[in-house]
Amino acid sequence: MVQLITLSAFTAFGRFDLALLASLGLFAVLYAPDAPYRRRLIVVSGVALALFVCALLGIAVGDSAPLLLVAVIVLSSAASFACTALVVGPPSAYFLMLGCGVVNYMVYQHDMPAGHVLIMTMVGGAVAVVGTMAELALQPHLPEKKAVRAAITSVDTYEESEPGEPARALQRKASAALHGAWTALDDAAPLFPRAPWARRRMRTLTALREDIASAEHKFNVRLGDAAAHYFTGNRLDTASSSGLIDRMVGSAGASSGRPKARVLLSHALSWPSENLVTASRVAVATIIAGIVTLALEGEHIYWSTAFAAVALHMGGARIIQSYRAVNRLAGTILGIGLFTLVVWSSPTAWVLVVILVSLQLLVELFVAKQYALATLFITPLALLISVGGQIPDDPWPIMGERLLDTVIGVVAAFIAIWLFGRSMPAKVLRAQTSRTLRSAAAFISAPDDPGPRESLYTDLRLLDSVTGAVTTEEGGSDAVHNGREIANIGYMLIGTRTLDAASWNDARIEKVRSLMINASEEIGAGGRDMDTRIDALLAQLAASIRITER
């Protein structure tokens, strides 16, 4: 709807060219479509600003292919790192990487005025911000209500499960859902809480917080039950332990919600991290694709480099990235064919408006869950914008060039995936396991301090993510086993430290903390005695849980 209004307005005044330029900023509307209003405002505004900066960079490097290549390499790596570290979500860094090169091509190959490009990119970004916020006018609390309902359902399922290995997956799912619900409520908080119009929003959020607090209460009780079974094989007698349950800390402190940007960035900047490995692979792939394109005297460096990065910029296991590369290749080839059909139809300006709006709508529908299918529609959309709506008489040269550039990009991606950092997944897992143990050691000494709690919760979620990626590649290796055990210990620690803080005397705290520090150092040294360390940790934590004896 936002793009339809914008394109129609400029086309009605006979400036379809300006409408296309505005589309460069309108890409921001694709981000955070299901997020609560404050998060949506921050993400869409940030992306709109980033798109403008990318356009400015594309103009600043001038008509120099080597300079453009350097700019694209740096931009692709930085954007990939920032988007994965800050959990921006699909389409992540893709349009930032593509935007810089598209603007350079439009200005220096199609002679579009640089000033017009920058102004209209800014206008498009502003319209995207206003338009995406207007969508929440009718149902302002829909995103956070959906998140709370999902969390309650997940907790109920976990609560009804029997202790044991199958329940661990339900535990992680419930924990993630609770985290998502608290995060959504944090994201929905008013920017100006003291403003008169914020009171009604706060009343609704307070009611939702009470609902999720009740669910988290049940989760913590079940987590204590799981800990008792995990260490002693006993079930928690809830009736006889009601006094213990009443001493739980406030549920608002049990989940940290969305981690602060500085926390996410500090974790991501700790080498080796999945974020830095992903950014490094993106750099390698774009360097290879760019150099090959220059050697072949290609004119579309931005296309080959963007498609070298598109399979890599969201991270994940190498086999998953390989599937992405193949899917993106298929989607792009079909997208080029779709662009050819548009060219052959010789559309008028108004028909192009309908086509562009339809393409962007299809991208919005599929970009979050079916990215490969979204690529089918992104490709003709990007091509139509890059040529400034000037439909070529003969589409075959463009088809041939873009197909070649796409193949170069995908081959470069495969090289980066399988020849660069082959041992990095296991190293990243060991490093993340070590960091999680250090965070747990800090938390155990100050469980009510939001800083260590937030750091531990962030590390546990990162450990879950990295363990899953390494499991996909290596199966049940020792590193995966250790990572899963440490993750379970971390989650149990949060539950037991919350449920029964009184039983944690200074001597026990210091003993468990020392074990965690030693285990962290052991992993850093290669993890030769990790099984012994984990057994000792389990024994000490079991000694700290006297739930069934109360």
pLDDT digits 0-9 by tens, 448-489: 787 888 888 888 888 888 888 787 776 667 778 778 878 877
Higher pLDDT, 97 or 544: 97
What is the gyration radius of the CA atoms in the chain, in angstroms? 26
Q: Of 248, 190, 181, nearest to 210 (Cα)?
A: 181
Asked if residue 451 and residue 415 are part of one domain, the reply reads: no
* 401 and 486 part of one domain: no
Q: Examine the domain organization and report whether 330 and 289 are in the same domain.
A: yes
* 157-177 pLDDT, tens digit each: 888 887 666 777 788 788 788
Residues 314 and 411 in one domain: yes
501-544, pLDDT tens digit by residue? 666 777 778 887 888 888 788 776 665 566 666 666 666 655 55
Task: Supply 360's token pair.
Answer: 């962007």
Tell me: pLDDT of 148 over 80: yes
Closest CA to 432 of 464, 401, 400, 404: 464
Closest C-alpha to 260, from 127, 458, 29, 18: 458
| Final residue belonging to a domain, choices 370, 404, 419 | 419
Distance CA 486, CA 410 (A): 37
Inter-residue contact 210 to 149 (CB < 8 Å): no
Distance CA(210)–CA(212), nearest Å, equals 6
The length of the chain is: 550
- From the CB of residue 269, how many other CB atoms can be counted at a distance below 10 Å? 12
Label residue 340 exposed, middle or buried (CB < 10 Å: 0-12, 13-18, 19+).
middle
Q: Does any domain span residue 293?
A: yes
Express as a percent the part of the chain with pLDDT over 90. Answer: 18
Cβ atoms of 341 and 384 within 8 Å: the answer is no
The answer on 412 and 473 residing in a single domain is: no
**Beta carbons of 285 and 413 less than 8 angstroms apart:** yes
pLDDT digits (tens, 9 = 90+) for 407-442: 999 999 999 988 887 778 878 888 888 889 889 888
Distance in angstroms (rounded) separating the CA atoms of residues 218 and 547: 16
Residue 275 lies in a domain: yes
Indicate if 34 and 112 belong to the same structural domain: yes
On whether residue 114 sits in a domain, the answer given is: yes
Whole-number pLDDT of residue 109: 84
Please give the full DSSP string across 189-217, using - where no structure is assigned: S-SSTTSTTHHHHHHHHHHHHHHHHHHHH
- Structural contact between residues 60 and 108, judged by C-beta atoms closer than 8 angstroms: no
More confident residue, 491 or 213: 213
> What is the secondary structure of 494-528 as a DSSP string?
HHHHHHTGGG--HHHHHHHHHHHHHHHHHHHTT-T
**Average pLDDT estimate for 249-277:** 72
Mean pLDDT of the 237-263 span:
49
Q: How many other C-beta atoms can be found within 10 angstroms of the C-beta atom of residue 295?
A: 8
Range of weakest confidence among 36-45, 141-150, 397-406, 517-526: 517-526
Distance of CA 133 to the CA centre of its chain: 21
Looking at 419, 437, 468, which one is the last position of a domain? 419
Distance CA 111, CA 528 (A): 63
115/127 same-domain check: yes
Higher pLDDT, 499 or 470: 470
pLDDT of residue 219 exceeding 70, the answer is yes
Q: Taken in order 261, 472, 521, 510, is the CA torsion positive or negative?
A: positive
Locus of tokens 């559309």? 347
Higher pLDDT, residue 136 or 270: 270
- The residue segments making up the domain with residue 485 are 423-549
Assess whether 411 and 436 both reside in one domain: no
DSSP 181: H
Cα separation, 491 vs 483, in Å, equals 12
Residues 386 and 519 in one domain: no
- pLDDT at residue 498 in the model: 60
pLDDT tens, 269-298? Answer: 988 888 899 999 999 999 999 999 999 887
Q: Which of 377, 404, 419 is the last residue of a domain?
A: 419
Q: What is the pLDDT of residue 191?
A: 74
How many independent structural domains does the chain possess?
2
